Structures are given as C-alpha cells and as structure tokens.
Amino acid sequence: MESTLNAGIAMAEAMQNQLPWLEKVWLWVTFLGDPKNLYLFYFPAAYYASRRVGVAVLWISLITEWLNLVFKWLLFGDRPFWWVHESGYYGQAPAQVHQYPSSCETGPGSPSGHCMITGAALWPIMTAISSQVASRAHSRWVRMMPSLVYCTFLLAVGLSRIFLLAHFPHQVLSGLITGAVLGWLMAPRVPMERELSFYGLTSLALLLGASLIYWTLFTLGLDLSWSINLASKWCERPEWVHMDSRPFASLSRDSGAALGLGIALHSPCYAQVPPTKPKSCDLHTPGGSPMPS
C-alpha cells in the first residue's frame, strides 16, 4: 500500500512541477466539482430546465453525500497533504509538492467526495441531455457528446484533486466508479410522488443512522476525529483548514435538504395551475382578497 501512496505523491509532484501553467485550470475545476455547488448551482439550473431532473440532482446529491460520509468513516484513507509528513517516507528527500487553500479538507480521503457525489448527481443531467440529443441528431458522435463531456469533466475533477494533494489516485478512481454506479442506479428511482412523511422520515433516518454508526465506531475504540487532528497539524496555514468539510457539516446539509425537498414538493406553490386561475400560494389580505401588486 505504501508504494501505491508513494506513486500518488509522485504523480502530484509531476503535475505541480511540470505543468505549472495549468494551476488555475485545476483550481477552477475542483471548484466546479465541489459537492456544495450541487445545491447552490447545479440543482437550481437543472430544476429550471426540468423539474424531474432538478429533483433527481438534489435527491441523488443528498443520498450520495451521506453514503460518502459513511464510506469515509469505514474506509479511513489518508490525504496526501498530511501523509507526506506523517509517513516518514520522505524524511531523507522531501517531496517537491505544495498545498493550496483547497487542499486542507478535514475528512478522511477514501473515496473522493468530489468524484463520487458530483459524478452521481450529474448522471441524470447527462442522461437527460443525451436523450434530447439522440432524438434530434443522426450522427453517432454527436449522440455520444454528452457522455464524453460527463466523463471528461469527472476525469478533470479527479486530476485536480490529485494536483491539490487532496486525494490519492486510487481514492479518485474509487470515487469515480462508485459515483457513476450510484447515479445509474438512483436516477430511475427518484421519489417525486411520495407523502411528506416519507421525506421527513428520510431526513430523520439520515441523521439518526449516521449518528448511530458514529457512536458505534466510537464505542469500539475508533477515533473518528483523527483526520481532523492531522489536517489541523499539517495544513500550512490555519485559515486553510476547511471546517465545513467536517463529517457532521455534510450530515446536517443532507438531512436538511431531504426535509426541505419534501416541504417544497408539497407546497401549494409547487403545483402547476392553469394561467387563468389564481395560484393558491398568492398572498392574501386578512379579509380574503388578494393583496394589490
């Protein structure tokens, strides 16, 4: 295993020292692949184009992010930016690598969340675009373009994570494969017509399930804060340590998104009504008449 990790450091070293002109590109790519952007940018854009695709992006994001959290608790996984110091492997000849503000995430490294979560959540967007293109284009290469763009983007995200010393190559590869498989499995099973109680129970299950796993591992003697301690110890600048990458930060986002999705889908503002009829979510005065615009 140590040789595998050493090969990952060598790859990051080559990318940083031999292709320095790509630095800004990798920084932008890792920003675009950040799972938080699924909630802030990708979900609203997808929802504007198609309600079903938008809901699919949000649903897959929150479920996959929760699974990534559990996988990291169970699989552990060092991150390169602290392993180069902790391992002692480079005691005689330090690796010629350096950190970036995006490097110092506090969670374990296996599997890559950028690759796994983003790969799964973008799957319904890719398949929806592929379906539209296939119905209009006759060229085989044109029909393949959405899939090629999807794969190219995820590959670039994975390389950016290696460049930043955030992940080793095997962590990126496991994230890519797991994300694509989860996206393929979950996209046809998006809950669009479920009761509000389903989303409330899902939110509660995510919260209690992760808490149960955490306390079970803690009771067994596993220190799940080990990665936070190493990130704080070896990050070059304290302000670079990303506290929002701590495990329970993503858990609160996932459980909140599940409940919020259910409330939104059952809101009277969500239902489509004919243009000639007043929407049931219009504001009304106490007397019952609509408020003047």
Catalytic residue among 85, 98, 138, 167: 167
Any bridge partners for residue 105, and if so which? 242
- Examine the residue annotation and report whether 167 is marked as an active-site residue of this protein: yes
d(CA 47, CA 58): 9
Q: What one-letter code names the amino acid at 63?
A: I
d(CA 75, CA 171): 10
Catalytic residue among 114, 138, 266, 284: 114
Nearest Cα to Cα of residue 185 among 91, 288, 90, 59: 59
- Examine the residue annotation and report whether 114 is marked as an active-site residue of this protein: yes
For residue 246, the 8-state DSSP code is S
Tokens 């110091």 correspond to 85
Alpha helix positions (H), 122-237: 123-136, 140-163, 169-186, 196-219, 226-234
Q: Are 124 and 57 in contact (CB under 8 A)?
A: yes
d(CA 257, CA 119): 19
Mind telling me the catalytic residues? 114, 167
